[in-house]
Structure 1
Amino acid sequence: MQLNDDVQMIPLGSTAREQYAIPFLPLTDDGDVEFPPSIQELCRQLSAGGDLAYIEAEMFGGAGVQASVLVEAGGKIGSAIVAHDAINVALRSLGIRSGFGGDAFTSLALGRYRETDAWVDSGQE
């Protein structure tokens, strides 16, 4: 899926989570800091094309938490970061900068949809 600034995203909606046995929001919902093996394997496969970040966010009533894990090209997996700005930390590490007074999350319009399945259903490619 194409985001702003030629950034690509692969949303892991319900179907992908079921197919790859990926737990729902394991870092933000369950509070784990251990990156699930099923997501590690998928990220290793995808990192053949270059560095990437696994990100997740859980928001409720304006407050929330974010998580990110950086994966280097070739599959070296970093530590999970769970914090209010974890996604922006990951995006900056990938060289994605904020634009015009916002942050990278906003610049990429990552808040466009509230649910991951809405990204999948939007059909944007």
Structure 2
Amino acid sequence: MGHMIRAIIAKENVIQNISDHWVYAEKNILPQGYGMSFLNDSLFDDIEELFDTADTHKYPQFNYLSDSVISFLLQESKDAQIMYIETDYFGGYGTQTGVLFENGSIAIEPMQGNGVINYLLRQIGVYKEHNKDEFTSLQLYRFRRMD
């Protein structure tokens, strides 16, 4: 079974604020007071149109972390911590990438590799439930695809 998502994860109120201001940002409620919104194609296109920055593709390990998306996440993280992740797994093999934005800047530079998502989840305060990692504790396994 595969896992292929592009997502913004933050405290539920931060995700609510994003979904209130962006038509295609749908809020998914997660445990522990967190929320998630997929960076679906429509939201990506809206961000690209509004921010309209020349894309230098600074971080080639990401497929969708454009300069416009970075500008959007910097703006939305002015008073918050916001994670952006991409996963691409099939049959147990694949990649995960992530970056942490905080107080309008990149707090943890983009990373790629096993354990990246759990590491970043710990940084935003997600705790492990008994015999589970952070990813499982937030029930992110429920979201294998964005459709």
Q: Bin the TM-score by the shorter chain.
A: 0.7 to 0.9
Could you state the TM-score of these two structures normalised by the residue count of structure 2? 0.67
Q: Which residue of 2 aligns with 1:18?
A: 45
Tell me how far 1:72 sits from its aligned partner: 0.9
Deviations along 1:36-69, whole A, 9 cap, x unmatched?
3112111012112411111111111111211110
Q: TM-score, normalised by structure 1?
A: 0.77
In structure 1, give the amino acid aligned to 2:105.
Answer: K
TM-fit CA distance, 1:32: 5.1
Question: Partner letter of residue 36 of structure 1?
Answer: S
**Which has a greater percent of strand?**
2
- Alignment match, 1:100: 130
Number of residues of Structure 1 aligned to a counterpart in Structure 2: 111
Task: State how far apart, in whole Å, the 1-side matches of 2:74 and 2:89 are.
Answer: 27
Structure 1 residue ranges (4+ consecutive) displaced by more than 4 angstroms after TM superposition: none
**Partner Cα separation in structure 2 for residue 43 and residue 61 of structure 1:** 31
Compute the displacement of 1:110 (Å): 0.8
2:67 matches 1:40: no
Cα distance in 2 between the residues matched to 1:32 and 1:92:
21
Name the aligned partner's letter for residue 101 of structure 2: V
Q: What residue is the counterpart of 1:114 in the other structure?
A: 144
Percent of aligned pairs with the same amino acid: 29
Provide the rounded CA distance (Å) in 1 between the counterparts of 2:44 and 2:105: 22
Distance in 1 between the 2:77 and 2:61 partners? 25
Specify the code of the residue in structure 1 equivalent to 2:135.
F
- Check whether the contact 1:54–1:68 (CA below 8 A) recurs between aligned residues: yes
**Cα RMSD over matched residues?**
2.4
Tell me which amino acid in the other structure corresponds to 1:79.
Answer: E
Match of 1:121 in 2: none
Where structure 2 has 5 or more consecutive residues not aligned to the other structure, the ranges are 1-26, 50-54
- Matched with 1:123 is none
